[in-house]
Homo-oligomer: A and B are copies of this chain.
Amino acid sequence: MQSQPDQRNASSTMHSTPMEAGRQRQGRLWSNLKEVCDLLHIPAAVSVNSEELLFQHVQFKTGQRVHTIGQAFDTLYIVNSGFLKTVLIDEFGNEQVLSFPMKGDMLGVDGIHTRHYASEAVALSDCDLILLPFKKLTALGRVHMELENLMYGVMSRELVREQAMIGMLGALSAEARVARFLVSLADRFAAMGYSSKLFNLRMTRHEIGSYLGLTLETVSRTLSAFNEIGLITVDQRTIGIKDAEALKTLRRLPPSRSRTKGAGAKQKAETDAAGDDQVLATTA
Contact = CB atoms under 8 A, between A and B. Distances in A.
Nearest to A259: B94
A244 interface: no
Contacts of A111: 156
Contact of A171 (B96, B206, B256): B96
Nearest to A210: B258
B210 A98 contact: no
A170 interface: yes
Interface residues of A, number: 64
A84 B164 CA distance: 19
A268 B92 CA distance: 8
Interface string A250-284: 00001111111001100110010000000000001
A166 B110 CA distance: 14
A257 B148 contact: no
Nearest to A145: B142
B156 A156 contact: no
A22 interface: no
A257 B151 contact: no
Contacts of A166: 88, 96, 98, 162, 165-166, 169
A163 B110 contact: yes
A167 interface: yes
Contacts of A206: 257-258
Q: Please indicate which of the listed interface residues A95, A112, A153 has the most CB atoms of chain B within 10 Å of its own CB.
A: A112
A113 to B, nearest CB: 4
A257 to B, nearest CB: 5
A145 B156 contact: no
Contact of A163 (B114, B142, B162, B216): B162
B155 A110 contact: no
A211 B91 CA distance: 23
A210 to B, nearest CB: 5
Interface in A156-200: 156-160, 162-167, 169-171
Contacts of A141: 148
15 contacts: A91-B284, A92-B264, A92-B271, A92-B284, A93-B267, A96-B167, A112-B152, A113-B153, A113-B159, A138-B148, A138-B152, A141-B148, A170-B213, A209-B257, A215-B257
Interface of A: 88, 90-98, 109-114, 118-119, 138, 141-142, 145, 148-149, 151-153, 155-160, 162-167, 169-171, 206, 209-216, 254-260, 263-264, 267-268, 271, 284
Q: Which 4 A-B pairs have the closest CB atoms?
A: A112-B156, A170-B213, A113-B156, A169-B169
